[in-house]
Structure 1
């Protein structure tokens, strides 16, 4: 939202006169009227087209793509835009990709067979240096 949009929004939504808003923001009323009636620039049109393209790719992905994947998709379509610009537009639109949940476990099933239980689960030894045991999750 630009300053002009903010002043216009205050005028319509909250009935704050534009003169008061201009004075509070330290801009002149002539500046406000100049920017209010200006035609759209090519940059604004390009930004609007980019926003529509981002929205379309995001919706087509089912809401899963984040800015890096949308960047790859748009580069494939011929857009020249950075990931940071896409991330900024997505934040303005309130779009966020879903994060894949990684399967996490503390122990992994190995491909090797389990070691034989030589102490037969008896962890007390009759004398020192007779039986050694330990707890190891994984041995490579």
Structure 2
């Protein structure tokens, strides 16, 4: 901080603000960089390189593994400390939320006849349905819960993507 503002403020004022003696600051400026600081600077460059190579997705454990694979023996705690000190963070994956309703249309919407009252007084009075979301390589699709092989074959012919084939291959 003192180096950043020494052109705008007297060094003695900056040293007082940081509670550092002016002579101590001068002595520190004259000393060469320590071996540990130089090693940390080089390590920080490698951390930034690996972090950028993996588009910011790698955190300290993966960067630690990558550095060890490169033959750099370094502790994970040191990597964590350098990343924290320099504001390097892994991107956390966003929680995937399945959206099955598209209400941005002009089609008529069915009336809510049940009004959340799911109790029936006689058979066949209330019918309910549900769908199951199936993640696929193309993104995903939905299926009815009463899944049979004959229904799967019928639905595969009607589905725009190959979601049934992809789903069955994952089983």
Give TM class, smaller chain: 0.5 to 0.7
Q: Indicate the residue corresponding to 1:17 in structure 2.
A: 10
Pairs aligned (count) = 112
Aligned to 1:101: 94
1:59-138 correspondence to structure 2 within 5 Å: 59-104=52-97, 123-125=120-122
Query: Which structure ranks higher in relative contact order (CA pairs < 8 Å, sequence separation ≥ 6)?
Result: 1
Secondary structure of the residue that 1:99 maps to in structure 2?
A: coil
Give the structure-1-normalised TM-score. Answer: 0.62
Change (3 A) 1:101 1:21: closer
Give the gaps of 5 or more residues in structure 1.
Answer: 1-5, 106-120, 127-140
Aligned-residue CA RMSD (Å): 3.4
Q: Which residue of 1 aligns with 2:20?
A: 27
Deviation at 1:19, TM superposition (A): 0.9
Listed as ranges, the gaps of 5+ residues in structure 2 are 99-117, 124-171
* 1:46 aligned onto 2:39: yes
Q: Give 1:104 shift.
A: 5.0
